[in-house]
Amino acid sequence: MAAGRGAYVWRFDSGRICLDLVATGPAGGTPRAREQLDGPGRLADWLTAARLVPPGTVLNALDATWLTRFRQLRADVDRLMSAQLALREGQGDPAAAQLGRSGDGNALDRVNSLAAEAPPGPRAVRGEGGALVRTLSAEPGCAGLLAVVARDAVDLLTDPVARGALRRCAGGACHRLYLDTSRGGRRRWCSGEVCGNRERVARHRRRRISAKEI
CATH number for position 160:
1.10.3300.10
Say yes or no to pLDDT of 61 above 70: yes
Q: Which of 172, 188, 78 is nearest to 180 (CA)?
A: 188
The total domain count for the chain is 1
Say yes or no to pLDDT of 101 above 70: no
Q: Residue 16's domain spans which residues?
A: 2-213
Say yes or no to pLDDT of 153 above 90: yes
pLDDT of residue 198: 60
| pTM across the whole model | 0.82
- φ/ψ (deg, to 5) at 78: -60, -45
Lowest mean pLDDT among 36-40, 88-92, 93-97, 130-134: 93-97
